[in-house]
A and B are shown apart, each in its own frame.
Chain A
Amino acid sequence: MNIRKAVITAAGQSQRTLPLQTLVDRDGQTKSALMILLEEALHAGVEEIGLVIGPGDRDAFRAAAGGHAKRLHFIEQSEPLGYGHAVLCAQAFTQEEPFLLLVGDHLYVAKGPKACARQLVEIAAAESCSVSAVQATHESKLPYYGAVGARRLQGQAGLYQVDQVIEKPTPTIAEQKLIVPGLRAGHYLCFFGMHVLTPSVMSLLEAMMRQADGGVHLSNALAQTAELERYLAAELAGRRYDIGVPYGLLTAQLALALNGQDRAEVLANLVELLAQS
């Protein structure tokens, strides 16, 4: 399976300005969050990127994309009908191809040399199916994420066969349906904000959108995907940073800096700050 396209969603009410924020990347360059995210996708081998944005945001995003703007296809989500709908807006762009899906308010820092998106794309290409990046998450954070119930794949560390997907489950439901052997007590596999999806997911979203009264969740379409086709979850060597939460941007910046070339300098500054506080 060849993954040439990526979709980044940035149309949510709280997301619209986040990708435009400026940070210093691991290479010491000052960039917008959007640009860091675009580079994450491009390093994964993606050639074209569909950016789902709110009405009227095109110019700002184009500016923030810098030199990568030429790879972008701007897709407007005209009304806020949920994350599933935002993804579905990119259907004309992805057409019948698999695609990498990223959320605009998350940044990723890989543990090794290979970027998170690249790790995911390689797995999806090898397994030829939809794969969602997941991270073991404590149950107190369940109100914020979609979570999966899954079984470990024999002999493939960090890879799971997904059986169930539930959006923001309570621990009561998670404990009954989403327990994954091998995880620490009270931890569940929650979405990482990064997926490789097959075109059938778009079809499912489309069908759900036709029936829905209001918006649709991507998780519901993924739950159906798990029933209909092989669908995997992968724990990646890396961490995600939600820049939309309080101090999220600061934390993401620190994470980037501490994993980059200026680590020693940033660390020294931090120690000095700590000593003075």
Chain B
Amino acid sequence: MPGELVTIITSPEPAVRNRSLDAFCRAASRDELLQEAAALEAFRRQSGNLYERVRALLFLYSIHRFHLPGKAGVTARSLIPFHGYTHLLQRRFEEAVTAFLKTQQAEGPSDAISSALAAAYYKLAIQTLADQVRRSVRSVRGNQWMFRMGHPADHPLRLRPELLKRNGDGTYPILRESTPVRMDLTHCGWSDIFFLGMDYPEGAKVLNVSIDLGVRGRDATTRPPVETCLRVIDEPVLRLTSVDLGATADITHLAEVFDFAKDYLGLLKAAVIASGIVPPGVEGSGQSLADLLARIVAPGHGLELVSNVNGIPKGSRLAVSTNLLASMISLCMRATRQAASLTGPLEEEERRLVLARAILGEWLGGSGGGWQDSGGVWPGMKLIEGMFATEGDAEFGVSRGRLMPQHRILDQKDASSATRQKLQDSLVLVHGGMAQNVGPILEMVTEKYLLRSEAEWQARSGMLNILEEILDALRRGDVAAIGRATTRNFFGPIQTIIPWATNLFTETLIHRVQEAFGADFLGFWMLGGMSGGGMGFIFNPARKAEAQQRLQEIMSAARRELQHALPFAMEPVVYDFTINERGTFAELLSGEAVLMPAGYYTLHAPSLLKQDRNTLSPLRRTELDKFGAACRARPELRGMVQTLFDAMLPRGKAETSGDKSLEALLQEYGFDRAQHEHIRAELQEGRIGLAQNRLPPSAVIEEVKPGDVTDATDWPGSGASFPPGMPPQTGTPTQRVAGTDASRRLAPLGMDALKRGEVAVVTLAAGAGSRWTQGAGVVKALHPFCKLGGRHRTFLETHLAKSRRVSRQAGAWLPHIFTTSYLSHEPTREFLSRQNNYAYEGEVLLSPGRFIGLRLVPTARDLRFAWEELPQQLLDEQAQKVRESLHAALINWARNAGEASDYTDNLPLQCLHPVGHWYEVPNLLRNGVLTRLLTHQPQLKYLMLHNIDTLGADVDPALLGHHIESGACLTFEVIQRRIEDRGGGLARVNGRVRLVEGLAMPREELEFALSYYNSNTCWIDVDKLLAAFGLSRNDMLAAEQGGGEKITAAVRALAAKMPTYITLKEVKKRWGHGQEDVFPVCQFEKLWVDMSSLPEVDTRFAVVPRLRGQQLKDQAQLDGWLRDGSAAYVESLCEWE
């Protein structure tokens, strides 16, 4: 008999089909859920229907991620089979599922196995979707032949004769395509994600507008932001130039065309492939590019392609890159007779083919947006809708909808010219300056759609009504109504589906604009995947000019306030825009005066001028002569000589940089040059490195024994009372369940110590939070990461709110210390001062860092070790190819930049690094913070040290009591491992119980034999710790009178016993208009967990519940964190005021 959940999936009745999984699972018991899971597993294996398979997979994911772990009878402790994990990394998801299910069968359901199954089911679902989209793209008629063609002799395309007809001076004409970008007037719930359109075509609707842009204050008029050019050249190469990215390359081999990440020309290469000039079928054929070009163009000839984006910054949410890709594809198709007209607009059928090819190009490049993104190819305003698959479609019988949507261009009845003008006069389009990765959001949307979570499903239905409302308002010419609808959409359905679509920056802007303009502010409008980048503000037309001016000021001010808290890639800008009524459009520029865009010459002319004129091809010589003549005659090229001069003889950095130099910063933060040189020498000689971080292979690493840890997983107040998926209804801590005997005995001990003022909290906030913003260099502690208690809260505020609650319970205020570094100290100090310490009544102290490192260019050896020897998650086929190409490019970069040389090619602050959290405690000793605490509060005996991202950690009286009673120097909190908990664990190493860092594990699989993972929350007995350093309270107090050398010597002596790890971190380098590159850099660190390896330090371990010990490392974790009850648990620990 099919399970109830299978019935939900297969039912033709919308009322049943759209039922929520959560509602069913909440009421089900463990065994009922297991039965349903078994039925779903059997069903998804036999179903041939894509939609059914994927929905069943996501149901299974959700059961294991959110529901089963919270049910009575599911054990917490279990080991995940390593071979299953290996399957997962190798993308053998089916085998991984089989391995995990076998363990579940043998050992019963557990939290750990459910986490592994959830990961495998989720990845399998996304992979199944990606495979289907790929199949559909390939099967679109007009694309299929490109996958069959494998030899240049079979190439069926020929260049149009017009392009081969030389100008009088021998040069060839230029075909130029100008393409607008698109904006999404409705934001219809990300419904243009391919799978949504293919499963729910009736709900996939977008109102999409093609626009020309100009940057306010820079450009005199608006124009299509995207421009692409093609011409014949007299060399058998593909010459690709991206003017906006400042990159150019002569491609001579077919294999280079498929090497996407080698340079910044990946998008142009994708266009060359997707347009059929170098069809995907020839990849790996080993044939000659020159032969292929001879066939298409003429023997001995090649093609030159140039892209130019009119200074529109990345992250504009206007789909600039997709429209650039589409523009280039259209250009190449016209040139090779695949479009009827060489010039002018495209026919509807041709636009559809450009869309299909752009989808293919995005897939080739390892990226992918939605199907509305190529909207700039179409003219004006259009309604884009999903279509049901019918007989004859490749998708028929596989999915309900087609891959390709339908476009209906709005006419005058739908939106009159007057209405369009009114819209232009009311809307202020901006780029807020934030650059964020939208990828995780698109996966979240897909997942939530398939799970039909109640609130999200209602929101989705609500969005369709808002679309109708906007269409109606357009018919009536009522722009104010549009503003009301888009605002309601943003604060209602959009955030119900994805709470992360908003952020503090956006809401600050909306609030301030509201204050400044009152009733003349007609509405806010979010563009694209998330806010903070491209956004729209609608005003009374009479005040638009003023609003543009004011909005620039408001954005710049808000950015200054939040620049250390949120990742900004650039200064905010305000655009001028107009609706483009002709869509993509091509012109053939012939005659002797014809030139490429001016920026093209800035890139090419310097290298040509440096070459011997006789070595240049005749066409390049002519081109240079033409350009020289134009510079003298054309007013728009007047500054070109100076620009060229600058390009050939770059100015020194000192001339332009107003910030502190790297050298000054190193001096200021106590950089140890001798130690740095020592590390460099060791790295260069291969004595240290990623491989050398590991413990010797002979080390015996085993699972701990039952008596090695204290099990505090069922102690009240330590996260035990809110099982995953079942957040409390009221969230008040007083309602938590009664505890065990041990905790009842220990809690008063801890509470008494709290009352006596014997405790302080140390929050580790010195790190750069590399994973949180992929190395953007913002201060994680200041990131307003989530709405808790109705407002966006920073990590800082959340930790203080927990201390506030505990302090009030104890009746004594906990001192709260935040450790800081060169990167975080000043912003944190300034932020706390502005927020008045969030009105925390106890002492709030900053403990500034006293150690600093200078990043190094990594060695090729370490890069290869990280990417080739350590287990890596394989990516989807094409994305993996792109990643491998990028890795090859980065290894090349490391070699060229100098392995183990100083990393200095970035902002000075991005070249420095904190040296690991082991130093945070010695910092307390050296910077006087501990001395001050001991002076003001001599009764202080204990510290609770924890990571900034361990949000569930608070000063729990029972755990404190346990630490006091044990008499230990240190008590580390550990949690039971889930599949995502990678990086070492608690082990017996050669018989001694200690924490082992992931970097030190000799073999990957050893970690999978360890049940416990380090939460990095550590209780410290101050006196015993000082003793471990060979110090006492008196030494600390004496330090105030000048006894600092003893402390310094003590720290140095203990530091020498701590292992030094070499790590690779990602660092962003920003350039151009919001462009970012991520580089791997090498740094070293010492870690606090290694204190547990010292025999002279009495260290204990307590197992705490997951909600208390889990860390929030990655923004992609936020959604699950909110849904699985973690956020509610943290809220229950906080008192915000």
Interface positions of A (Cβ within 8 A of B) = 138-143, 168, 170-176, 179, 185-186
Contacts and interface: CB of A to CB of B under 8 A. Distances in A.
A142 B276 CA distance: 15
B158 A143 contact: yes
Contacts of B158: 143
A171 B338 CA distance: 8
A201 B148 CA distance: 36
A170 B156 contact: yes
B142 A140 contact: no
30 contacts: A138-B154, A139-B148, A139-B149, A139-B154, A140-B149, A140-B153, A140-B155, A140-B156, A142-B156, A143-B156, A170-B156, A170-B276, A170-B337, A171-B145, A171-B156, A172-B143, A172-B145, A172-B276, A172-B353, A173-B142, A173-B338, A174-B145, A175-B141, A175-B142, A175-B145, A176-B141, A179-B141, A185-B144, A185-B148, A186-B148
B5 to A, nearest CB: 41
A170 B144 contact: no
B141 A139 contact: no
A176 B149 contact: no
The 7 A-B residue pairs whose C-beta atoms are closest, nearest first, are A140-B154, A171-B145, A172-B338, A172-B142, A175-B141, A176-B141, A170-B338
A51 B700 CA distance: 96
A248 to B, nearest CB: 17
A140 B152 CA distance: 10
Nearest to B349: A176
Nearest to B145: A171
Nearest to A173: B338
A176 B353 contact: yes
B157 interface: yes
Nearest to A185: B148
B154 to A, nearest CB: 4
A186 B145 contact: yes
B306 interface: no
B229 to A, nearest CB: 21
B336 interface: yes
Contacts of B333: 172
Contacts of A174: 145
A143 B154 CA distance: 11
A170 B148 contact: no
Nearest to A143: B158
B520 to A, nearest CB: 51
Interface string B193-208: 0000000000000000
Given A143-B156, A172-B276, A179-B141, 6 more contacts: A139-B154, A140-B154, A143-B157, A171-B276, A175-B144, A176-B349
B157 to A, nearest CB: 6
Contacts of A168: 337
Interface secondary structure of A, over-half rule: helix
A138 B144 CA distance: 14
B147 to A, nearest CB: 10
A185 B144 CA distance: 10
Given A170-B336, A172-B333, A176-B353, A139 B156 contact: yes
A173 B352 CA distance: 12
Contacts of A142: 156
A6 B652 CA distance: 81
Contacts of A175: 141-145
Query: Chain A CB within 10 Å — which of B149, B156, B158, B349 has the most?
Result: B156
Contacts of B143: 172, 175
A172 to B, nearest CB: 4
Contacts of A170: 156-157, 276, 336-338
A139 B143 CA distance: 13
Interface in B640-659: none
A179 B142 CA distance: 10
Contacts of B154: 138-140
A111 to B, nearest CB: 26
Query: Chain B CB within 10 Å — which of A143, A171, A176, A179 has the most?
Result: A171
Contacts of B148: 139, 185-186
A146 to B, nearest CB: 14
A176 B333 CA distance: 15
A186 B143 CA distance: 12
A149 B333 CA distance: 22
A176 B145 contact: no
Interface string B329-356: 0000100111000000000010001000
Contacts of A171: 145, 149, 156-157, 276
Nearest to A186: B148
A14 B603 CA distance: 46
B271 to A, nearest CB: 15
Query: Chain A CB within 10 Å — which of B142, B155, B158, B338 has the most?
Result: B142
A251 to B, nearest CB: 17
B577 to A, nearest CB: 33
Contacts of B349: 176
B162 to A, nearest CB: 14
A175 B158 CA distance: 17
A171 B142 CA distance: 7
B137 to A, nearest CB: 14
B145 A139 contact: yes
Contacts of A186: 145, 148
A199 to B, nearest CB: 30
Nearest to A174: B145
A171 B155 CA distance: 10
A8 to B, nearest CB: 28
A186 B144 CA distance: 9
A72 B142 CA distance: 45
A172 B145 CA distance: 7
A233 B446 CA distance: 49
A170 B156 CA distance: 7
Interface in B805-851: none
A11 B336 CA distance: 29
A255 to B, nearest CB: 22
A141 B156 CA distance: 7
Query: Chain A CB within 10 Å — which of B143, B144, B153, B155 has the most?
Result: B144
A179 B392 CA distance: 12
B880 to A, nearest CB: 28
Interface string B968-985: 000000000000000000
Contacts of A141: 156
Interface in B153-191: 153-158
Contacts of A173: 142, 338
Query: Chain B CB within 10 Å — which of A170, A175, A186 has the most?
Result: A170
B2 to A, nearest CB: 38
Contacts of B338: 170, 172-173
Contacts of B336: 170
B558 to A, nearest CB: 49
Contacts of B145: 139, 171-172, 174-175, 186
Contacts of B157: 143, 170-171
A103 B9 CA distance: 62
Contacts of A140: 149, 153-156
A139 B279 CA distance: 14
A227 B349 CA distance: 20
Query: Chain B CB within 10 Å — which of A179, A185, A186 has the most?
Result: A186
B145 to A, nearest CB: 4
B392 to A, nearest CB: 11
A145 to B, nearest CB: 11
A189 to B, nearest CB: 15
A142 B333 CA distance: 16
A225 to B, nearest CB: 20
Interface in B79-98: none
Interface string B130-144: 000000000001111
Contacts of B153: 140
Interface in B237-295: 276
B802 to A, nearest CB: 62
A142 B349 CA distance: 20
Nearest to B158: A143
A173 B157 CA distance: 11
